[in-house]
Amino acid sequence: MKLSILVNEGPYQHQSADSAIQFTKAALEKGHEIFRVFFYHDGVNNGTRFAVPPQDDRNITDQWTKLAEEYKLDLVVCIAAAQRRGILDENEAKRQGKDGNNIAPGFRISGLGQLIEAGIQSERLVIFGD
């Protein structure tokens, strides 16, 4: 089945990021296709490479990055939500006159249209969050 995933909550604060990773991994291992993973609301915080969780804890962003590398996943962070919360790629940092960027490898920043497209193109949109 062709699926897309929507992650609406930030990492660590809420279990939805962990659940989304576990679901995505399980779906891929069962041979399902993941058309896109979209990050919205505080979910965009999944995409910062500047988070440094304690070493004996999981690193949620690294888990996404590794999953994206292994399965060529499309991880998309919403640009409007990202701008509010300080998640920037090189282009956005330049555009907004900021002195650095923090997007993690495997993630890209794009618009809400990518979420709607995921809803149109996928057989199921599976949502993680409250």
Q: Point out which residues bind another protein (CB under 8 A).
A: 6, 40-41, 79-81, 84, 110-117, 119-121, 125, 127
Cβ 113 to another protein shortest distance, Å: 5
Cβ 15 to another protein shortest distance, Å: 17
The verdict on whether 48 is a catalytic residue reads no
What are φ and ψ of residue 21, in 5° steps?
A: -65, -45
Q: Which is nearer to another protein, 27 or 76 (CB)?
A: 76
Number of residues assigned to the chain: 130
Active-site hit among 27, 78, 81, 87: 78
Q: Which is nearer to another protein, 11 or 63 (CB)?
A: 11
Tell me the longest C-alpha to C-alpha distance in the chain. 44
Cβ 94 to another protein shortest distance, Å: 15
Q: At what angle do helices 60-71 and 16-29 cross, to 10 degrees?
A: 20
DSSP, res 4: E
Helix, coil or strand: residue 19: helix
Query: So which residues are the catalytic ones?
Result: 78
